[in-house]
Amino acid sequence: MTTADRKRSMDELAAVIARDIPAGAFVNLGIGQPTKVADHLPADSGVVLHTENGMLNMGPKAEDDAVDPDLTNAGKVPVTELPGAAYFHHADSFAMMRGGHLDVCVLGHIRLPSTATSPTGTPVNPTTFLPSAAPWTSPSAPRTST
């Protein structure tokens, strides 16, 4: 069995995503599995991490004495802050994502029924995690409420 023939572990997938993030990019890490991407970024990459719960310039996971229960990522894992870190309301955090102010957003898996469609009527494949599978993530896409 080759690597291409088997499913990747979540850790392997996080490493692939981290490798594809350009140096110096501003990157949102969503809740859950996307937070693992931070573990695979080189320290000298210049990547600035953004959390959905309202932090910019998040550092690595906090260990031992560095743990501050009030300083967590979106998955409630204790993290550190890097110099110049900023904090804001989670609504502002999502506005930064939706407004196109970040270079990359790593989102978690969303379970959808096989008949799901986007607000534009495009069928959504729940097993595909490509931008084309979720056209409503575009800031210019029409929005509807049900």
What's the structural domain count of the chain? Answer: 2
Catalytic site residue from 12, 52, 63, 81: 52
- 28 plus 75 within the same structural domain: yes
Q: For the residues 88-117, what does the mean pLDDT come to?
A: 80
- 42 plus 18 within the same structural domain: yes
Q: Are 103 and 28 in contact (CB under 8 A)?
A: no
Q: Give yes or no for residue 128 having a pLDDT over 60.
A: no
Q: How deeply is 89 buried, as exposed, middle or buried, from its count of CB atoms within 10 A (0-12, 13-18, 19+)?
A: exposed
**Per-residue pLDDT tens digits for 42-56:** 999 999 999 999 999
Average pLDDT of the chain is 80
Residue 50: φ, ψ to 5°: -120, 135
- Does the active-site annotation cover 12? no
- 81 plus 22 within the same structural domain: yes
* Domain span including residue 95: 3-109
The pLDDT assigned to 141 comes to 41
Q: In what order do the strands lie in the sheet with 48-51?
A: 79-87, 55-61, 48-51, 26-29, 104-106
- 69 plus 138 within the same structural domain: no
Question: Smallest Cα–Cα separation from 33: which of 13, 61, 57?
Answer: 13
Tell me, yes or no, if the pTM score tops 0.75: no
